[in-house]
Amino acid sequence: MVRDMELLEHHTRTAQAVLQRMRGRAMLCDEVGLGKTIEAGLILCELMMRGLVRRVLVLTPPSLIEQWQGEMRRKFSIELTTHDDPAFRESLRRSGAAAWGMHERLIASFHTAKRSPHREAILDQAWDVVIIDEAHHMRNSRTQLWKFASQLSKRFTLLLTATPVQNNLEELFNLVTLLEPGLLSTSKSFQRRFVDRRDKLTPRNVDELHELLAEVMVRNRRSTVGLEFTRRYARTEQLAPREDERRLYEYVTELVRRQLNQPERGLSRMALLSLQAQMGSSAEAAAPTLRKLAGHEELSAEVRAQLHGLADEAGRVNGNVKADRLLELLDELDDKLVVFTQFRGTQEMLQERLMGAGIEAAVFHGGLGRLEKERQIALFERQTRVLLTTDSGSEGRNLQFCNAICNFDLPWNPMRIEQRIGRLSRIGQARDVHVINLVAAGTVEAAILHLLEAKLAMFEMVIGEIDMVLGNLDEETDFADVVADLWGASSGLDDFAHRMEQLGDRLVAAKRAYAEQQAIDDRIFADRFRPEP
């Protein structure tokens, strides 16, 4: 009963093991990119179809809520309600925290769930199943989050994490205790029996420990499930913008930064950041926004006049250095290419430029009807060399017949970039995947790209790993917001680049920490926890 996905053998084996042998209480510790969410969805779906589960609570970091909602809806037809949904807000308004008892399938961020008054309301409920994604956030039993999770009343529990151990084996004890208190005895007894006194990360009585863990733990590894992705090759082309493009970018950037730093600015932070991102894409994307903002009556006459002037200038920009390069690239490449942009304005401009050059392109965006979307994908598969697509709506579409993508502009959130690459670099892709990033020099996007590529080597990472690295940053806000804050606080591009360098150092440390975690987990768990066929 699943859709838009390829169910692999290890997914079904895991679901069977969890449902039959582990009786619905398990820690899913697959390596990154093997589909822990799919496994959890399968288990949930099966429990629901068997009539064993009605009330569902999913807890995740805030950045994953939307992704979980989307995946459960698209792949399993399971609708999860967040505390931000209008229906839930209405219940909240009418009945207060009792709203948590009025909706059957809920998803909440860790931060919301552990906060009063939600915390008490959630603890007051009897949940049939609780799913905790990125459960490594609960490795420490002294945190509020662990205590909250341990007090939840639940029949079935799934903990999802690729890295159950980071600093010491007690973290493993804490996670297992959430699932089944007493399985690893008490903390002291666990330390005595299973932890080397000289090194908190080295287990003793390994066979006995593994035997106990096997009652609740599944860990699939790429090497054991025989799932290897093809290689990815990324190249970034940093292009010097044309004079009119550069001038417009600088003016808009200056205005946006000035506005951001004004306490009573009259424009929302989101609108300003969106304008800045549009400028990083093309003048065509920014022009309508500039015009719209110029009509904002809360702004001073001076700012409105400036915005008017900038909108006119954006309309006068004639040409786009990245579009020129894209046309050259299409001459050089003899294969199909997916061109991603975030904005419709840019997409329309590119469509016009390609048409002018006699290149037919399929065009895909969220505003198309369902069937038109299918038609455009079919057109790309069978007839055109180019697919011009925005980020929205392409999830679940099969694009593996193509192996090259071009990021015409760059989302500030690396997860979005990863999602783009993931459309092609996935199960079923037989060829190496080529990623071409086009970026204008001296822009925010150029700085982000430098950080992601030069510091993190993000484009070579396995899908899902970037999330793990960003998770190690210990930031409560999205990476895009972190970048936006740095950018807003910087005095100019040089200052921004300097601040980004510092962020880059933290990212490198986070990546190193992630690699260490992986090594530790591999050493402790080896291949012992794959579900038996």
Partner 1 sequence: MVIPMTDTTSHHPIEHFIRQYLPEAGGVWECVEPQVYDLLLPETLQEDQDVARVVFDPEALPEHPGSQFMTLGTPLVDRLLEDARRRGRYAGGYVHGLNLHPYGLEQRIRRSLDLPPKVSLAFTPPQPVHVTIAVFWFEATFISDQKEQAVFHAAVDLHQLRHVRHLERLLEEATLSDQPVQQLDSSEGASLTTGYRMAREQVTATVAAAANLRRRELAERTERQLQRMAHYYRDLLAEADARLIRANQKQQDPVKEFNRRRNIERERDIRLAEARKKAALRVQLRLSNLLTVHQPKLRTTAHLARPASSEPIELHLTWDPLLEVLEPLDCPRCAHPVFALRLPGRDAGWCCPTCAVLTQ
- 186 is an interface residue for partner 1 by CB under 8 A: yes
The radius of gyration of the chain's CA atoms, rounded to the nearest angstrom, is 25
**Nearer to partner 1 by C-beta: 289 or 384?**
384
State the chain's maximal CA–CA distance in angstroms.
Answer: 75
Contact indicator for 137, 474 with CB cutoff of 8 Å: no
Among 6, 9, 73, 477, binds partner 1 (CB under 8 A): 73
Sequence-distant (≥ 6) Cβ neighbours of residue 156 within 8 angstroms: 24, 25, 47, 52, 53, 128, 129, 130
Measured distance CA(532)–CA(409) in Å, rounded: 45
- Between 155 and 193, name the residue whose CB sits nearer to partner 1: 155
Per rule CB under 8 A, is residue 3 in the interface with partner 1? yes
CB 53 within 8 A of CB 20: no
Instruction: Say whether residue 377 binds partner 1 (CB under 8 A).
Output: yes
- Is residue 502 at the binding interface for partner 1, with CB under 8 A as the rule? no
Nearer to partner 1, 32 or 48 (CB): 48
Minimal distance in Å, beta carbon 104 to partner 1? 11
**Shortest spacing between CB 213 and partner 1, in angstroms:** 14
Q: β-strands 25-28, 81-82: how paired? A: unpaired
Q: Is the peptide bond before 117 cis (omega within 30 degrees of 0)?
A: yes
Tell me the C-alpha distance between 359 and 524, whole Å.
55
Minimum distance from residue 178 beta carbon to partner 1 (Å)? 11
Nearer to partner 1, 205 or 502 (CB): 205
Annotate 466-478 with three-state secondary structure. HHHHHHCCCCCCC
Considering only 271, 329, 359, 379, the residue that binds partner 1 (CB under 8 A) is 379
Q: Which of residues 116-155 bind partner 1 (CB under 8 A)?
A: 150-151, 153-155
Residue selected from 6, 66, 77, 352 as contacting partner 1 according to rule CB under 8 A: 77
Contact call for residue 188 and partner 1 (CB under 8 A): yes
- Rule CB under 8 A: choose which of 7, 16, 62, 74 binds partner 1: 74
Of the residues 374, 432, 505, 527, which one makes contact with partner 1 according to CB under 8 A: 374
Least distance in Å: CB of 382 to partner 1?
6
- Amino acid sitting at position 425: S
Options 177-185, 312-320, 348-356, 438-446: segment touching partner 1 (CB under 8 A): 177-185
Window 409 to 448, contacts with partner 1 (CB under 8 A): none
CA distance 210 to 528: 7
What pairs with residue 25 in β-bridges?
A: 157
Q: Which stretch binds partner 1 (CB under 8 A): 34-42, 281-289, 363-371, 488-496?
A: 363-371
Tell me which residue has tokens 């609780």: 130
Q: Which one, 20 or 261, has the nearer CB to partner 1?
A: 20
Sequence-separated (6 or more) residues with CB below 8 Å from residue 228? 222
**In the bound complex, what is the minimum distance in angstroms from residue 183's beta carbon to partner 1?**
6
Q: How far apart are CA 530 and CA 214, in angstroms?
A: 9
Single out the residue of 23, 111, 235, 258 in contact with partner 1 (rule: CB under 8 A). Answer: 23
- Give the ranges where 160-266 is alpha helix by DSSP (H): 170-179, 187-194, 206-213, 222-225, 243-260
Asked if 371 is part of the footprint of partner 1 (rule: CB under 8 A), the reply reads yes
Q: Which of 20, 144, 230, 491 binds partner 1 (CB under 8 A)?
A: 20
CA 149, CA 283: separation in Å to the nearest integer?
Answer: 49
Nearer to partner 1, 48 or 424 (CB): 48
Point out which residues pair with 407 in neighbouring strands.
340, 437
Could you tell me the smallest distance in angstroms from the CB atom of residue 376 to partner 1?
9
Decide: is 392 part of the binding site for partner 1 (CB under 8 A).
Answer: no
Least Cα distance to 22 among 186, 176, 224 occurs for 176
Total interface residues for partner 1 by CB under 8 A: 39
Measure CA 267 to chain center: 27
Mention every residue, 6+ apart, whose C-beta is less than 8 A from residue 478: 62, 63, 413
- Given the complex with partner 1, which of 356 and 369 has the nearer CB atom? 369
CB of 23 to partner 1, least distance (A): 5
Query: 462: Cβ–Cβ under 8 A, 6 or more apart, which residues?
Result: 32, 33, 222, 229
By beta-carbon proximity to partner 1, the closer residue of 154 and 336 is 154
Nearer residue to partner 1 within complex by CB, 1 or 430 = 1
Least distance CB 24 / partner 1 (angstroms): 6
Between CA 396 and CA 378 the distance in angstroms is 14
Query: Cβ(281)–Cβ(341) under 8 Å?
Result: yes
Question: What are the tokens at 235?
Answer: 């190249």
Interface region with partner 1, contact rule CB under 8 A, candidates 73-81, 233-241, 276-284, 407-415? 73-81
Q: Which residues bind partner 1 (CB under 8 A)?
A: 1, 3, 19-20, 23-24, 48-52, 73-74, 77, 150-151, 153-156, 177, 180-183, 185-186, 188-189, 369-371, 374-375, 377-379, 382-383
